[in-house]
Structures are given as C-alpha cells and as structure tokens.
Structure 1
C-alpha cells in the first residue's frame, strides 16, 4: 500500500451522481472525497476524466484460458496466474472471483480432470508472496454432471478464500444448451469430437445427471454453507428452476436464459447477472435471452466479463447509454457485485473503503483506461 495519492479535477462517479472533484487515497484506503475543481499541490490532474471504483468481477473463465491456452496444453501455472492477474488489472478489474471447475469426468472423449485444488494452492501461494496486483477470491463452479463433485468440494476449507459456489447443470437439452446444435458446435470445436463421440458424450452427461444430479446439487448447497460462500445458480430457464434456486438459498443468478427466469429472480429477490459479451454483441452466442432486453426491462443487476475481461468496462458504459444513467450502470460492475459477494469494503467511491479506483476517458462512446489503482498502488 502506498502513502498518499490524490486524483483531482475528475468527474467522480458516485452512487447517484457524477460530480467534479477529487479522491484522496491514504495507506490503501479512500480517505477523502471533495467536490471541487481545485487541484491540490502534488495531486494528479485527471483533466476531466471519469474516476470510478475498481471493477468487481464475479465470474471469469480467464484463468482457465491461461493455464490451458489450447485443449490438452498445460501451461506453467505460476506464469499463467501472473499473466492472468496482469491482464485483469490492465482492464480495470481490481477484485476477481476466479472461476475454477470442481467435478470431473475421467473417461471418454469428453473427459476433464480435476485441477482446482492444485491451482488454488498455487494462486493462494502467489498471493501470499505478494506476486499479484489485484484482489483474488475463488469461485468454485460445481459441475452437477460429473463423477467426483463432492470429493473435490470436500478438499476446500474455510481458509481458501472461497467466496462463491455456483451450481452448474450442463445436462444437454436444458438450460444453456436447450439447443443441442449449439452444444455440438461448442464441444466439437473445443474437443474435436466426431458425431459418434458427441452422441456418446451427451448420453454420458444425461446418465450422470440421472444417477447423481440430485445428490450432487444437495451436496454442493451444503458445501457452500460449510465454506460460508455465496451460492449462485447458473442458466436458470424457468420459474420453477428459479423457485428451486430460491429454496437452495441462491444469492444471485448467473446468466438466466429467459425473461421468465429473470422476472422470477426479481420476484424472489435474487440478483440477476448477465455477460458483458452478450450485451456488447447484442445477443447470446447460445441463442438465449439478450442482456440488453433484460436491461431495458429493468431486470439486470450485475455484469460479468465472462470470457472477455476487457468487455466489463465497455459494457458498463454501453449500459449507461441504454439507461441514460452512468452511475446506475457503473454500479452493475462495482457496488452490485461487491454486495452480492458480501464485500462491504469496496465497490464505491467512499471514505473508509479500499483505494481501488480507475481513471477513464471516454472517446467516441468507448471508455479508455488511463490508470488503475489497487489499494492505492498503481497497477496499470
């Protein structure tokens, strides 16, 4: 944590307004916010750029992309983790919940082996050694259609910074992959399956769900409670599925696939998270509901970068145009995800909170990052 840093002559994005002023960070914490165009001696003149809280990312597959840049390619993990951390910092993300799959399949063309416990050890060690620029927590993606979910979850404990456990039911023919054609396109490209191998893969997943699905879901809910982690649902499609999520104690819903599910989430007090790529591209790559449609209906609370870290900031500014309300839009990538993850020390420009701030200039409706500070230290 640095000494004193003052960012002045900035447009400060506060919870319900944008004002001209300065932010002072001292010993890693925001110590003062002043509404004024005065530039104190020694302050950084932001030249009218926006200053906003650091972005809070609840679900990113980016760490998996770094450790396995191509199928079956296992990249050196420490190098991958440091590159992942630096990439996120360069996009304005100052808090991340790194998504790691738990629950494996050990046979067939569609096999995927356990890796989360070992990778988490390496990530936590890198953090303890001060090698990382931003704040990292774990998000365990509990794969219901797997052979070893509960054993893998049992390997984690209360000291592992597990902040989120999400229930992932990728049974073919429902939720994200109601359209088997979309699933086949995705899997065939990623795993190189032929028609027969794909059919065998689908049959195996359906069998696993039939035999173990109920046990795995109930067990994952209990493990989330043991770890004191927020429970998330994934790809809820129907009101009935949302009711089950509510009964399980889900705090937020990742990527509901229909308006029906999003409306049910709102009725049950479950925050709705959608993907930034969906918003930017104008629709879901799986053919599900568009994030912009939910935004216009007032059914969108949180944005996640999902598989494109740089999409998070861009999506927030695009959402600001849809709503004509930049503070409300910025909250979807700062205050709202922080609240959903039970983090009360970040997500807002407010004295007493972490000195995680961004300097952003807008050019042709595109946000350009001009500085990133994590606990007062400039990291990008």
Structure 2
C-alpha cells in the first residue's frame, strides 16, 4: 500500500475546500504522512465516489450473449471503468429475476461466486441484489444466497406488466425480452401470466422475506415507487430506502417517513428522466435526495455532482455522491476525507477531469498531468 503525502492541492474537507496536506498510510488517511510527497498544486482532491446502484458492469460481463465464460475478466474490465470515473465503492446491481438470461437466478449465482473470488485494484466491489418479488418459488433460495455471500443490500423490483396481463394483452417488447431470457415468446408470456396470477400471495410473502432479511442486518430498498401508498407499504415492511422514486409524491412520502432517497445521476446530467418521471435535479434542489447513483452510466455521478455544485455549492453537491450514500448504508469508514477513514479519494483537474483515483490506499487509476506528478 501507498505511504505518501498529497500536498499543495485544494482538498474538500468537512467544512469546505482548503489547501492542505493529506497523508496516506496503511490504506487509511492520516494527519501527516512520512512517505514521499506528491505536489498536486493546481488540482483538487475529493472523497471517492460511493455508488449505491450501478448496472454498467453488465456490458463487461456479457458483451454478447454467451460470450463471457470467465466472469472475473469482465469484473476486471468493469473495475477499470469504475476507477477511471472516481468510484471507490461500487454496488453492482445484479438482478435475480424471472426475466432470465443475465437477469436470471443461475446467472446471479455465477456472478456472486465470481465476485466473491475476485481480487482487483482496490475498489470495494459489493453487490446489490435486485429481487423480483413475484418469484415466490425462489424466496428460500434467494434468502440462502444472501446469507451465503454476505449480501448487505437488497432491492425489491416488480417488472411484470400487470396492466397488460390483466387485460389479456400481449405486453410490449415481449419478443426481445423472451429471446434475451432464452425462451420463445409464447413460453415467456405463459410464464408471466402464471406469475401474475399469484397477486394475492405476494404481499404477505414479501413482508415475511423483508422481515427475515432486515433481521439479519440487510439494508432493504424498493425500486421505482410511483405513489404515496406504495412507499408507505414498503416502509411498513421495513424497506427504508426509496430507490429512483418516479413521482414527487413518492419522494415526499419517503422524506416524511424518514426513509432514504436514492436518485439517478444520469437523470441530473440529462436534465430529466428518459422515461418521463420526475426530474432528479428538481428533487435535489428541494432536499429530497440522499444520494445519486450511476444507474446505467458510471461517469454520471461525477458529472452530476459538478453540475449541481454550480448551483448548490461543491460541498453539498459532492456529498451526494460520497458522504451521504455512505451514510445510507452505514459505511462509516468512508465518504469524507478525515484521518482514520479509508484512503478513498480522487484527484480532479481544473476542468473536472479525473487524473487519479486511490481506493483503500491503492492507486486504481492514474493518467495525464497527475500521473506525471506521481511518477516524477
């Protein structure tokens, strides 16, 4: 691990940007270091990004269907992209779904095995398991996998097209989804219809599963809440993270209940949701956000935070991708630059480009003028 002093840079400390030295030793931040001094005059040092939900890794694990046999190679490629974007803690959002293919149970188990055995650059790679709540037959196996692989974050999803199924209509995009799952469109539709028929059994079953997981210390979230009543239902089940609420009313309900609100950083960068949902930037301005996640695009947290900094200031904006996401999941050892915390940080130039990423005291990314400073 590194033992050095970063000097001359503007450092984002609790309280704001100051010109200060930052020591690194034993994978932790120190008040002053005794190692080699790196002159970072003209640059900024910020806390490493804590990404609570990102599925951009999928294209590294399966560039084409069936093409990636060794998932560890895909994880290495994904970690390189994470590091290049200043992400030092990454929750890889992996489905456990009836949809099959990369979203199916078998792939999820392959992924969990590969991640458990992966040794990388230093990025803290964790998993957020996204569980389709209508998979009643999988509840026991899912709970066992969460325990076996030490999963600390589970999000409940429901991607069944209930309205179309209730009307007996063919759901949109059926053929493409079926082929991704390795099924015929007819078999895929029949499976969805069968799952939809168990509507009344789901509510008590998911309440029991949520209680069991919460009792084991697993953080629980819901995905795409659209209404106040839905957020209240999840809250009563102990599901206290509202991930990507679709409406202002759902986000406001989460805030009233004291639940955490995670929004998509790409929504901020784009200036709105690609699916017509509430603007994330609007919710941020109104204090209805506890963290911005990469969702499908790893550059987005940095981009969103720097955009918001022009409006609300750098410290509160950057906290939305570092300190506050860490607080949401109780990661008390990171998210801020203070002695004794993990040495998770990134170095930005004046144009907001990343020159270096250090994760747990190890260089995971280095380029350009910053690389010249490190290498002498």
Query: TM class, shorter-chain normalised?
Result: 0.7 to 0.9
Worse overlay, 92-101 or 204-213:
204-213
SS at structure 2 position matched to 1:114: helix
User: Over aligned residues, Cα RMSD in angstroms?
Assistant: 3.3
Decide which of 20, 27, 46 is 2:40's aligned counterpart: 46
| Corresponding residue pairs, total | 360
Query: Contact conserved, 1:15 with 1:331, CA < 8 A, in 2?
Result: no
CA drift at 1:15: 2.9
CA drift at 1:369: 0.3
Matched, 1:232 2:217: no
Q: Distance in 1 between matches of 2:142 and 2:42?
A: 48
Worse overlay, 111-120 or 79-88:
111-120
Give the match for residue 328 of structure 1.
Answer: 316
Decide which of 347, 355, 362 is 1:370's aligned counterpart: 355
Decide which of 79, 83, 87 is 1:89's aligned counterpart: 83
SS at structure 1 position matched to 2:140: helix
Decide which of 108, 119, 128 is 1:116's aligned counterpart: 108
**TM-score, L = length of structure 1:** 0.84
Write out per-residue CA displacement over residues 181-220 of structure 1, whole angstroms, 9 at most, x where no aligned residue: 9964996698499xx7699379537615616532552243
SS at structure 2 position matched to 1:94: strand
Structure 1: tracts of 5 or more residues without a match: 35-39, 175-179
Matched, 1:260 2:249: yes
Decide whether aligned partners of structure 1 residues 83 and 264 sit closer, same or farther in structure 2, where only a CA change above 3 A counts.
same
**TM-score, L = length of structure 2:** 0.85
Query: Contact conserved, 1:62 with 1:307, CA < 8 A, in 2?
Result: yes
Matched, 1:57 2:51: yes
Aligned runs of 1:167-246 on 2, under 5 Å?
167-172=156-161, 184=173, 191=180, 200=189, 204=193, 207=196, 210=199, 212-246=201-235
Give the match for residue 177 of structure 1.
Answer: none
Decide which of 347, 358, 376 is 2:346's aligned counterpart: 358
Query: Contact conserved, 1:105 with 1:147, CA < 8 A, in 2?
Result: no
Give the match for residue 4 of structure 2.
Answer: 5
Write out per-residue CA displacement over residues 132-182 of structure 1, whole angstroms, 9 at most, x where no aligned residue: 4311222111111335431331332546231201111223268xxxxx999
Aligned runs of 1:307-322 on 2, under 5 Å?
307-322=296-311
CA drift at 1:66: 2.0
CA drift at 1:63: 3.0
Matched, 1:345 2:333: yes
Structure 2: tracts of 5 or more residues without a match: 164-168, 366-376
Decide whether aligned partners of structure 1 residues 189 and 255 sit closer, same or farther in structure 2, where only a CA change above 3 A counts.
farther
CA drift at 1:368: 0.3
Worse overlay, 295-304 or 205-214:
205-214
Q: Distance in 1 between matches of 2:36 and 2:326?
A: 31
CA drift at 1:227: 3.9
Q: Distance in 2 between matches of 1:205 and 1:329?
A: 45
CA drift at 1:285: 1.6
Worse overlay, 265-274 or 57-66:
57-66
Q: Distance in 2 between matches of 1:98 and 1:80?
A: 13
